[in-house]
Structure 1
Amino acid sequence: MKQIGLFGGTFDPLHVGHMVVAECVREAEELDEIWFVPSHIPPHKENASVSSEDRYEMVKEAIATNDRFKVTDIELKRQGKSYTLKTVQELKENHPDCLFSFIVGGDMVDTLGKWYRIEELMDEISFIGVRRPGTTFETSYPLSTVESPLLAISSSEVRERLDNGKTVRYMVPEPVYSYIQRKGLYGC
C-alpha cells in the first residue's frame, strides 16, 4: 500500500518553508509521496489573496522537479469551504490502494480541537505534526511528531514584502517567484 502524506494549506503563496517541511516529513515518516492540497476556501482564514487556480498553478510549477511531490485540485473542484474531513473521505474512496496521513504545522496542531468534526476526522486519518516557531504544540489528539529546520518564513510575510515592493526571491521557489512576476500577483 502506498504511503501518502497530505499537505493541505492555502499556499498563498507556497514558500521554501513549505517545501522543506514536506521533504523532511516525507523522509522522516518514510512516505512514498507528499500530495499538496491547496484549499479552495480555507475554513479557518479569510479568503486567500489570489485565486485558488493561481495558488494551485504555483504549487504545480514549484514541485515539478520532485517526482515524490504531487498536487491535487480536489478541493478546487469541490468548491465551497475546504473541510479536511470531506477531502480525506473523497481521497480514500478514490484511492483505496493508498494509506494517507495528514501533515499539520505547529500552529494548526494548537487548534485541532476547533477543526470541523475533528473526532470523525481522527477516525479517518492519522496526523503528523511539524514544529513551528512560536507555537505551543500542545494537543490531546494523537499525532506523530517530525522535527524540521525552523525557517521563519510565512506566506503573510511574503505577501507583505511584495506589497511593499520588496523582493521575495529565495523565500519562494524560483518557479513561484517567476509565476508571481509573470502574472503580476500580490501587487507586483
Structure 2
Amino acid sequence: MSLNLIGVLGGAFDPIHCGHIELAKAWQDLASLSKVLFIPSGLAPHKNIVIDNKHRIEMLKLALNPHTNFFIDDREIKKNQNDLKPSYTIETLQSLALEKKEGQAFCFLMGSDAFLKLESWHLWNELFNYCHILVVERRESPIFEEQLTSALKKEWAERLTQNVEDLRTSSHGLIMTKTFEYIDISSSEIRDTIYSNKNLINLLPAGVADYINLHKLYH
C-alpha cells in the first residue's frame, strides 16, 4: 500500500519567514506531501519566544494563506495554556499519531543544523517510532558522517534512504536528506534586521512584514 505522506514543520515562527515556506514547498514537491502542518511551539525548551502567541498565529495565517495545502496546527499552544511545562516534539508526534488515519505517514521536516543537534532533544531516538525525518542540507554545508555522534551515526546508517517510495511503504522510521536552494536565514536574524530598520524584501512572506510594521513588533 502506498501511504499518504503528511509533512510536519515545527518551530517558534517568531516570525515565520520565507525560509520556512521554501523548505515546506521543496519537500512537498519532492515527496508529494498531501499537506504540511505548521506547528508553532508552545513553551520551547531550546528557544526563547519573543512575541505573544496571538501575533505568531496571525503571521502564520498571513503567510500560509496563499498555499492551499499548508495548515496551522496550534496543539502545542493550546496545551501550554493550562500546562506550563515545555512542549516536546515527541509528545506532539504522539498526539498526532492518535489522530492518524489508516494509510497516512508523518514526515518531520528539519534543517541540517537541527538534525546535527537531534541528540539534545527529549527522547530523541523515539521520534523514529512516529515519523520519518526529512532533512534539508545546505549546499555549502552537507552532513558528513564524522559530524555525527556515535548514537546518531548508528541511526543514520540504519535509516538513511534517498528513495521517496521507501517513505510511502513504511509508516515511520526513515531518514531522507536532500539539498535545496532556499533562503538561509533564522528568525533571530530577521528580528535583528527589523530592529536595525533594514530591508526585509524577500525575507518575509507577503503580508507578514506589513503586520509586523502595523503592530510595531520586534522594534
TM-score, normalisation: structure 2: 0.79
Q: For this pair of structures, how many residues does the alignment match? A: 186
Q: Which residue of 2 aligns with 1:167?
A: 199
Which one has a bigger Cα radius of gyration?
A: 2
SS class of match (1:44): coil
Which structure 2 residues correspond to residues 88-127 of structure 1 after superposition, within 5 A?
A: 88-97=93-102, 98-127=104-133
Q: Is the 8 A contact 1:7 1:37 kept in 2?
A: yes
Q: Which residue of 1 aligns with 2:45?
A: 43
Which structure 2 residues correspond to residues 7-46 of structure 1 after superposition, within 5 A?
A: 7-45=9-47
After the TM superposition, list the runs of 4 or more consecutive aligned residues in structure 1 that deviate by more than 3 angstroms: 132-136
Q: Is the 8 A contact 1:107 1:135 kept in 2?
A: no
Deviation per residue, 1:35-66 (Å, 9 max, x gap): 11111122112x21112221122112111111
Report the AA paired with residue 35 of structure 1: L
TM-score, normalisation: structure 1: 0.91
Inter-partner Cα distance in structure 1 for 2:30 and 2:179: 9
Report the AA paired with residue 52 of structure 2: S
Inter-partner Cα distance in structure 2 for 1:66 and 1:29: 17
C-alpha RMSD over aligned residues: 1.7
Q: Is the 8 A contact 1:14 1:155 kept in 2?
A: yes
1:154 positional shift: 1.9
SS class of match (1:42): coil
Inter-partner Cα distance in structure 1 for 2:100 and 2:182: 33
Q: Is the 8 A contact 2:183 2:203 kept in 1?
A: no
The gaps in structure 2 that reach 5 residues or longer are 160-174
Q: Is the 8 A contact 1:3 1:32 kept in 2?
A: yes
Percent identical? 31
Q: Is the 8 A contact 2:139 2:180 kept in 1?
A: no
Which structure 2 residues correspond to residues 70-81 of structure 1 after superposition, within 5 A?
A: 70-79=71-80, 80-81=85-86
Inter-partner Cα distance in structure 2 for 1:132 and 1:9: 19
1:152 positional shift: 2.5
Inter-partner Cα distance in structure 2 for 1:53 and 1:111: 29
Report the AA paired with residue 24 of structure 2: A
Equivalent residue for 1:130, pick from 115, 128, 136: 136
Q: Which residue of 1 aligns with 2:87?
A: 82
Report the AA paired with residue 108 of structure 2: F
The gaps in structure 1 that reach 5 residues or longer are none
1:87 positional shift: 0.5
1:165 positional shift: 1.8
Q: Is the 8 A contact 1:53 1:76 kept in 2?
A: no
Inter-partner Cα distance in structure 2 for 1:136 and 1:88: 27
